[in-house]
Each structure stands twice: as C-alpha cells, then as structure tokens.
Amino acid sequence: VTVVVPHSKGLVAAAQRGWTPISANFLQPQWAATHWPMYQQGCALAGRTAQPSDWRVCKSIFVADDEATARRYAKSADGPYGFYFWNLLTKRKSSTGNVDIFKHDLALPEAAVTVEYMLEHLVIAGTPASVAEQILALRETVGDFGTLLYCGHDWADAKLARRSMELMAEKVMPEVNRAIGTPQ
C-alpha cells in the first residue's frame, strides 16, 4: 500500500491485513519516517513483528555523469521532473488546498511551496557519489528500510534517463550497499 500522509492510521489498518508499505516519493523524509512506527503498530495488532525489509521507500532520483547535467535535467522547473512536480502541486492545491505534505517545515508559508522548492527538497540528483551520499542521508532520517524504489518520470531525453538507471545500478547502489553492510 502506498502511504502519502504522515502518521497514517490507514497504514496501521493495512499492516493488520498483512499489507506492506511504500512511502511515497513526494514526501519529505521526516514525514516518511513516521510510517515505520505506524507499520509496527499494525503488525503488532496482528500478532506479527514488523520487518524493515518489508518497507519500501520511493524517491525521485536522477544520476548523471556530472552535476550540471543532473541539475539541468532533474532540478529544472522546465524539465521532466519539474513537469511531474508542477502537476502534483497543481492537483494538490486544487483538490485540498493544502500542501503541507510537501513542506520540510510546517511553518513554511504555502506560497513558498513552489515547483522549484519541491525539486530542491524532494529530488535526489547528482553524480553517482553525490546520489549515494543523498540516499545515505535519507536513510539517516527515515531509518532502515528494505527497498529503495526509483520513481519513474517521463523520459524527456531517453539517453540521459537510461544512463541514470545504469549509473544507479552500477555505481550508486553498490556504494550504498557497501555503506550499509548489505551483501552485493
């Protein structure tokens, strides 16, 4: 089950039914971190022990051979990630009028939550070394989880999008796995 709100009571019910969580890619890490205790609570109510390996965390990720390409492709409001977050922000504003799930600080004014803000705070992008560092920082905030899901976005440039996945598989994940002690 995909979890999109902090402190999700729905996640407790889902865990009781044996469903495993996926924390949505558009949540700030501190809000995703609230999912684990809720999952544990639901598992406990069902008489099971929650396993971190069952928790999946989704993130918008783009890996490039250089920082300039990563920023241009994944952090530009005019790029494919920008379009995705513009669409998400527009729909959220029109349906609920509330964009708190996108904020890193609830005191942040609604007007500050722009596409540029979302790209800067919700997209992991950079060189393989930089992306590995950002994923490890995510794990520091969120906690231990089993699977990192690489969120798919439109391929405005198929060659760059394919290269990103290659770098993720061949460079980033081996480095992350080494750092967290997961066998290759």
Other CB atoms within a 10 A radius of the CB of residue 98 amount to 11
120-149 mean pLDDT: 97
Q: Please check the confidence at residue 184 and state whether its pLDDT lies above 80.
A: no
18-44 mean pLDDT: 96
Q: Which pLDDT score is estimated for 65?
A: 98
Helix (H) or strand (E) holding 56, with range, is strand 56-63
Mean pLDDT estimate for the chain: 95
Q: Which residues are CB-neighbours of 69 under 8 A, at least 6 positions away?
A: 160
Q: Which pLDDT score is estimated for 141?
A: 97
Structure tokens at 175: 């480095």
Q: DSSP letters of 123-162?
A: EEEESHHHHHHHHHHHHHHH---SEEEE-----SSHHHHH
26-51 mean pLDDT: 96
Q: Which pLDDT score is estimated for 36?
A: 97
Q: Which pLDDT score is estimated for 1?
A: 84
Q: CA 38, CA 6: separation in Å to the nearest integer?
A: 9
Q: Please check the confidence at residue 133 and state whether its pLDDT lies above 80.
A: yes
User: Structure pTM?
Assistant: 0.94
SS3 assignment, position 177 = helix
